[in-house]
Amino acid sequence: MTVPILRLHDGNTIPQIGLGTWPLNDEQAAPAVVAAIEAGYRHIDTAYRYGNERGVGQGIRDSGISRADLFVTTKLDGAFQGEDRAIAGLDESLRRLGLDYVDLLLIHWPLPQRDQYVSTWKTFEQLISAGKTRSIGVSNFKPAHIKRLLAEATLRPTVNQIQLNPCITRPDERSYGEAHEIVTVAWSPLGRGTDLLGNPTLAGIAAKYDKTPAQVVLRWHIEIGVVAIPKSANRDRIAQNIDIFDFTLTDEEVAAITALDTGADPGVDSDTMGH
Ligand SMILES: NC(=O)c1ccc[n+]([C@@H]2O[C@H](COP(=O)([O-])OP(=O)(O)OC[C@H]3O[C@@H](n4cnc5c(N)ncnc54)[C@H](OP(=O)(O)O)[C@@H]3O)[C@@H](O)[C@H]2O)c1
């Protein structure tokens, strides 16, 4: 089983499937990370706000994997936005993770009402030179927010991590990303909290390939060229979610799954804010 690797515009690479870790706590995250690495994952997604970076770091150490073989993402909390504050924010994440560097550091939310994301981004640029992160990117940014970074800062984000699944396919954000060589990373790739996985279209395609609806959805993410970070704390589902590289969807199947888009942008609500 080989997980495809996407190239970032800064020359680094990102595995197209990663393990999501929200809402696991430290005790739950460590064994989930071990199970994921044993199943072949080489990409783990966490955030300061999740409160589980210690558990993620413990899982990495428990797995015995070489640090260089792993891609670790964390996200800067809103509390650390503003000029230079990201230095302390990333230092705290690294301390909790027990790592010298992360592969990818994201601004978790633009928080445009605070208007600090540009100065935060300029500090991110310094954190690359300091060797504390290999790549930098954003999360939950609209194209308008990214446009400001392009106009006012030096480096372009390598990724934008956004909510994306067959119910919310975000064609505008994806094409903006493609036009600017910004990789789209899908959070809630399985549509957590919706009845997506019970959809009959997915059930039909899953039966054809002897796969589960979740595997069909994750394969769809691969086919449309985004990175997906499904969360599971269950060893079997963790393994299932990466066992998607022995089948491909037809163009018609990809189109039928994309057509499940409900057209409703759920926006940002206070429950998901910060995850
Ligand atoms: N940047 C952001 O603002 C942001 C926001 C939200 C999430 N995220 C990141 O994205 C990751 C994934 O998103 P998410 O956790 O919201 O949603 P998700 O990955 O779409 O769905 C997770 C849910 O699906 C279940 N599940 C996993 N695999 C399954 C399978 N094969 N079959 C059936 N059910 C399955 C999980 O339960 P079990 O654990 O019981 O398997 C869990 O309840 C998060 O963990 C986090 O790392 C980022």
**What's the pLDDT score for residue 263?**
85
Residue 8 domain flag? no
**What's the pLDDT score for residue 273?**
53
Residue 119 domain flag? yes
Query: Is there an atom of ligand 1 within 6 Å of 45 CB?
Result: yes
Amino acid at 236: D
226-263 tens-digit pLDDT: 999 999 999 999 999 999 999 999 999 999 999 999 88
**What's the pLDDT score for residue 26?**
98
Residue 234 domain flag? yes
Would the CA dihedral through 144, 148, 151, 153 be positive or negative?
negative
Q: What CATH number has the domain bearing residue 235?
A: 3.20.20.100
Number of domains in the chain: 1
Closest to 232 in 3D by CA, of 205, 214, 212: 214
Residue 75 CA: which ligand 1 atom is closest? Answer: 1
Q: Which residues are catalytic?
A: 50
pTM over 0.95: yes
Mean pLDDT, the chain cut into blocks of 10 residues (275 residues total)? 94 98 98 98 98 98 98 98 96 98 98 97 97 98 98 98 98 98 98 97 98 98 98 98 98 98 66 45
Q: How far is the CA of 19 from the centre of ligand 1 (A)?
A: 9
Residue 269 domain flag? no
Query: Is there an atom of ligand 1 within 6 Å of 234 CB?
Result: yes
Residue 159 domain flag? yes
Residue 50 domain flag? yes
Q: Domain containing 253: what range?
A: 14-258
Q: How far is the CA of 43 from the centre of ligand 1 (A)?
A: 15
Contact assessment for residue 162 and residue 173, using Cβ atoms and an 8 Å cutoff: yes
Query: Is there an atom of ligand 1 within 6 Å of 20 CB?
Result: yes
Q: Which residues of 10-26 are buried (b: 16+ CB within 10 A; e: fewer)?
A: beebbbbbbbbbbebeb
Query: Is there an atom of ligand 1 within 6 Å of 237 CB?
Result: yes
